[in-house]
Chains A and B, each alone.
Chain A
């Protein structure tokens, strides 16, 4: 049959292809195992992060001063990184020697301190005074175990659009603007003033959740009391923050965007909102998303005391086979010199008061933001923030609150109904 001949050729081709693949795979496998054997005599430290922390040159420095140590870094997406960490911690395998943990996840990882090396064993306890008190606190386990050492902080300020403020008849000078809102009530009142004369389609702020989270960050106690109990339902301060947010939304001050959504990104370009709660890293974000708005932005202080959004810790999982070396690397990467270097590289704000007050930080100005002394402003905010008690379900409670606020902004529920559901969700967490 005619087809039989071509069929045989076809099959030969398939077999040939299979052989090629097998050979390639086999050689690759052999090569990697050979290379693996070579490195066994030295120490290889693996570092796993969820973004570029600016550590490249620091690794080189460390490797030079510690011969025999090789550092390998890997980066994964924020959500993937943290869920992989949970899975590695649960199964006892697969974690790196040094793991970055973001502030949104630190609470539940430190609730299981036995899963991580207590850095007190490696002398980290003596370093306590380096850090901002609230940052240090957040990295401790319930019995004072040092689970993570702080890297950067987000801090918090209010980024505002000078041109939109001008159109609405508000002052544009940043000192004057900071004076507009000494409290959050005043912030909401300013919003009403803004909305009265705002250009069409522009609202005062981008997202109710961002404002609410900034308020909650200043409240103490907030979601947890000292004994570790969830007090969302009974804490009048939480309800007060909620009510104020609802008031602002009801007055039409919120654009209703979800942070990091496509619409939010576009909102920057289109100038759909006049203010946004701004951590230090948000500057880079705005510059990337809306380069055409250069010079139109400025930065003022937040109402109330300081604030924080973001920032991370470095921890050493208990399963690491190089705990001592890893702990040493962590101390190095969070040393004042390292954090100062990182600030120059990436603009990530150091978490240490000495650095925040240093010339390098306080003298830092950003031309995109009308040459505002951003280093000074963010440092002030970080220094003013007071420690807050956080608990393991902190992140889940925050997600529930964001959803609750979004439901109101999307007009799916009344504030009262949404609050009731929020309380129910919080209760289900315990």
Chain B
């Protein structure tokens, strides 16, 4: 901060201000890099090495238990592309992702919109939608496998009351996807709703008032004011949900019957790519780490491609500038 330099001789003052100007310039130039450095340093240590290591391992036939391994080039990848279980996992992953992401984000938008209004006991409602995030995964797994049990699950019990026969949720393909999507939606809808709510809170009232003057009711305001104004947050959640959804592992893994390995059901009906990776690397008796590394890299590519496509798609939502 400026000090009273009136008493000092002018040449000292000039040198002082020159140094200060140089420091100021250094500060403006260097501080951005300094500020982003922690992230990149940490990623360099804990992110880059695993990436490169896994890339290397994917070109070998490394088995976790065997003492030696040899370079085999792209053999893992060519085998992977011909592997029907890999493509099965890709289909499962995409299917579960669509079922669990699209309704979830729409629901989150609606919930945020509702929570944004004047409500009594507002705090209570806003916080209770986050409770699924607080519940531990062990409990979630136990509870949802009970809920969707075939003969004795609560969901089938309720369906029976309205005359619908038992559905073998875990056994079928689409049914297991629905059960898993319910699990994922339950867990994440509050999280996304909160993000939307935070974004909605920064929309100026004037916009709503202006549109109300134009005769728009709540729903039209939602479509024409709210959604365009929070478009960046929507893009953000779509990308995060895409990345998380395509990497889905925990929910389907815990949905399996205990001690049944990592196959995602007797017919691999809900085995995601991450689960297939885990099966090859750790599950059962294979420990085929080279192959698993190749799966990991293919997953990486898949996520990159689909995230980009999603980004392009969501951008077509009319932006606030339009």
**Direct contact, A vs B (beta carbon within 8 Å):** yes
Interface residues, chain A, with chain B CB atoms under 8 Å away: 78-79, 83, 86-87, 89-90, 105, 107-109, 111-112, 114-115, 258-263, 266-267, 270, 272, 392-396, 399, 402-404, 406-407, 410, 412-413, 429
Which chain A residue has the least Cβ–Cβ distance from B269? A412
Task: Taking A86-B65, A267-B152, A272-B151 as given, write out 9 further A-B residue pairs in contact, using a Cβ cutoff of 8 Å, ordered by the A residue number.
Answer: A79-B259, A89-B64, A90-B287, A108-B65, A108-B287, A114-B67, A263-B150, A399-B261, A403-B263
Q: Is B119 an interface residue (CB 8 A)?
A: no
Give the nearest-CB partner of B173 in chain A.
A412
Q: How far is the CA of A380 from the CA of B37 in the complex (A)?
A: 69
Cβ-based interface call for B232 (8 A): no
Stretch at the interface among B16-24, B128-136, B241-249, B278-286: B278-286
A263→B151 contact, CB < 8 A: yes
* Complex contact A412–B171 (CB within 8 A): yes
A255 closest partner in B (C-beta): B151
Query: In the complex the two chains form, is B287's CB within 8 Å of A78's CB?
Result: no
Contacting residues, chain B, for A105 (C-beta < 8 A)? 285
Of A87, A262, A267, A402, which contacts B260 at CB under 8 A?
A: A402
A contacts with B: majority SS: helix
A270 to B260, CA, bound (A): 23
Q: How far is the CB of B294 from chain A (nearest CB, A)?
A: 15
B interface majority secondary structure: loop
Q: Does B267 contact A412, Cβ atoms closer than 8 Å?
A: yes
State whether A266 and B151 are in contact (beta carbons under 8 Å apart), knowing that A393-B285, A403-B266, A403-B267 are contacts in the complex.
yes
A396-B266 CB under 8 A given contacts A259-B259, A266-B151: no
With both chains docked as a complex, state the minimum distance between the C-beta of B265 and any C-beta of chain A, in angstroms: 8
- Which A-B residue pairs are the 5 nearest by beta carbons? A406-B266, A90-B64, A258-B257, A261-B257, A260-B258
Interface residues of B (CB under 8 A from A): 64-67, 142, 145-146, 149-153, 168, 171, 257-261, 263, 266-267, 282-287, 289
Task: Kindly provide the distance from the CB of B280 to the nearest chain A CB, expressed in whole angstroms.
Answer: 11
The interface residues of chain B lying within 8 Å CB-to-CB of A262 are 142, 145-146, 149, 152-153
* B284 in contact with A399 (CB, 8 Å): yes
Chain A contacts for B65, CB-based, 8 A: 86, 89-90, 108-109, 111-112, 115
**Minimum distance in angstroms from B250 CB to a CB of chain A:** 14
Task: Across the interface, name the chain A residue whose C-beta is closest to B85.
Answer: A428
For A260, give the chain B residue with the smallest CB separation. B258
A258 with B260: in contact, given A90-B64, A406-B266, A412-B266 (CB under 8 Å)? yes
Contact call A107/B285, Cβ cutoff below 8 A: yes
A103 shortest CB reach to chain B, Å? 12
Which residue of chain B lies nearest to A112 when distances are taken between CB atoms in the complex? B65
Q: Which of B152, B266, B285 contacts A263 (CB 8 A)?
A: B152
- Docked CA distance A402–B265 (Å): 11
